Amino acid sequence: MTSMYTTEPENEHLEDKNIQSPIRSEILNDSNTSKQEETKKIVFSNTEETKPQTKKCACPPQGTLNKYITNGMLLAGFTIRNVPLFSKFVHISNKWSSTLRNSALTLILVKAGLGLDPQALKRLRKVCLRLSVGPCLMEACAAAVVSHFLMNFPWQWGFLLGFVLGAVSPAVVVPSMLLLQENGYGVEKGIPTLLVAASSLDDILAITGFSTCMSIVFSTGDILNNVAASFRNILIGVLVGTILGFFVRYVPSEDQTNLPLKRAALILSMCITAVLGSTHLGIHGAGGLCTLMLTVIGGMKWSNGKISVQKIITTAWDVFQPLLFGLVGLEVSVASLKSNAIGICVATMSLALLVRISFTFVLMSFAGFNLKEKIFIALSWMPKATVQAVLGPLALETARTSAPYLAAYSKDVMTIAFLAILITAPNGALIIDILGPRLLKRQVTQTQ
């Protein structure tokens, strides 16, 4: 099998009156009881980025400034690796790089777990599950097929790549949806709420699928034993996470001071230990599932206090995010690429993304949305950034330490993840900002 790397060490408009789908009835009933206040409550409790950033100065930087810094760090890392003037003087230990990326993965999982609101998911359960599961799985399968025939990837590596690409980026989607909701766009049908709720589930599915594929790719023995080992890891992660989740519901107790800070510190320390520990023990995926179960179960008991914990986690993420993207850029070496590598990588990513967008449009055709709304949702479901920045290098790091002969495939995965971030993150945000006010119906709220 060949690799792109050379060897190196290392529908139709629908009238509103004709729409009688479950999602419309659920959202309109909800909005009739308390107009937009409850919808806003769902969104704000569904994400750590609970308010559009209005402060001119914030530390760490947030909002648009944070996006520019993040993308700049991605290019900065790429420059350091590929410009001899910088590469001679800047050296980052693989061990430290791996630890930082695993810590960033933990933060993403904590954010995703705390962002899941059972009430919102119950109201939007049908269309939310459809949106979070369908496009992710279809893109993963499309990427596996395309990479197998276009890049000569083994099937297990194709699906691993597919789950790296399958995750949407809440860091791009959520702030844009909150801004649209603040201005009343798509609120009547709950489109911003839907996309915010589905983004966390989408990420969870992608990370779980990736972890399972990692267990298969880097395991020895027959396929049945590898699949059995993957299910074993899932069981361990779910069991330990459930136990710890009930523990953090009550510890620290409600009568303590600085409760949000203590809760955030406790779950971060436990989750980072779980992720790093599971990696060290070779039970891939168990630490991530443990983190998800811990935060979902624990957060359900914290009620309104969960928002304060989310803000603390977001602050920690704002510190880690630029570092993470810099490390991603640092892993992409132009000297190691063959001449046709970029074109093949872009083609693979683009074909898989086209399948994702098309399938999202088809799924939303049965959810009571008109043509413009379906187009908007499908195009809004394309940005990729944070999850790719974490998962992309993980396969490369694992290959370096345990299976150097698989490094070529892992470098291809890393390169496609890098290009996916560089191309879809800024363009996705731009598409949402431009098409939102043009394709979504605006509901003007009356002051009471």
The strand pairing partners of 185, in sequence order, are 442
Question: For the chain, what percent of residues have pLDDT higher than 90?
Answer: 30
Query: What does the radius of gyration of the chain's CA atoms come to, in whole angstroms?
Result: 21
Assess whether pLDDT exceeds 70 at residue 47: no
Q: Exposed, middle or buried by CB within 10 Å (0-12, 13-18, 19+), for 301?
A: middle
Assess whether pLDDT exceeds 70 at residue 48: no
| pLDDT for 225 | 75
Lowest average pLDDT, out of 73-77, 248-252, 367-371, goes to: 73-77
Tell me the CB-side half-sphere exposure of residue 419, using CA atoms within 13 A. 20
- Residue 148 binned pLDDT confidence (cut-offs 50, 70, 90): very high
**CATH number of the 68-81+92-332+367-439 domain:** 1.20.1530
The CA distance from 75 to 81, in Å, is 10
Q: Phi/psi of residue 442, each to 5°? A: -95, 135
Region 156-165: what's the mean pLDDT?
A: 94
The CA distance from 76 to 69, in Å, is 10
| Cβ atoms 176, 429 nearer than 8 A | yes
> Regarding predicted confidence, which is higher, 357 or 200?
357
Cα end-to-end span (Å), the chain: 67
| Cβ atoms 209, 139 nearer than 8 A | no
Which among 431, 418, 355, 362 is positioned nearest to 79, based on CA atoms?
418
> Regarding predicted confidence, which is higher, 371 or 115?
371
Sign of CA pseudo-dihedral 214, 219, 224, 225:
negative
Locate tokens 């890049």: which residue? 151
Assess whether pLDDT exceeds 90 at residue 118: no
Region 78-97: what's the mean pLDDT?
A: 79
CA 173 to each of CA 200, 414, 429: distance values in angstroms, whole numbers, following the listed order: 11, 23, 7
CA 116 to each of CA 60, 237, 248: distance values in angstroms, whole numbers, following the listed order: 25, 18, 17
Contacting residues for 347 by C-beta, under 8 A, at least 6 apart = 146, 150
Q: What is the DSSP letter of 444?
A: P
The strand pairing partners of 442, in sequence order, are 185
| pLDDT for 65 | 56
The strand pairing partners of 337, in sequence order, are 5
**Which amino acid makes up residue 307?**
I
Tell me the CB-side half-sphere exposure of residue 142, using CA atoms within 13 A. 21
CA 31 to chain centre: 29
Assess whether pLDDT exceeds 80 at residue 251: yes
- Residue 49 binned pLDDT confidence (cut-offs 50, 70, 90): very low
Q: Count CB neighbours of 277 within 10 A.
A: 13
Region 155-160: what's the mean pLDDT?
A: 94
Q: Which of 163-172, 275-284, 335-344 has the highest mean pLDDT?
A: 163-172
Region 153-166: what's the mean pLDDT?
A: 94
0.75 exceeded by pTM: no
Q: Exposed, middle or buried by CB within 10 Å (0-12, 13-18, 19+), for 448?
A: exposed
| pLDDT for 216 | 83
| Cβ atoms 417, 165 nearer than 8 A | yes
**Angle value at C-alpha 21, between 206 and 16, nearest 5 degrees:** 120
- Check residue 368 and give left, alpha or beta (phi > 0: left; psi -120 to 50: alpha): left
For 8-11, the CB contacts below 8 A with 24+ separation are 8/333, 8/336, 10/400, 10/407, 11/365, 11/371, 11/374
| Residue ranges covered by each domain of the chain | 68-81+92-332+367-439
The CA distance from 332 to 328, in Å, is 7
| pLDDT for 270 | 95
Express each pLDDT in 215-235 by its tens digit.
Answer: 788 876 666 776 777 788 888
| Cβ atoms 418, 329 nearer than 8 A | yes
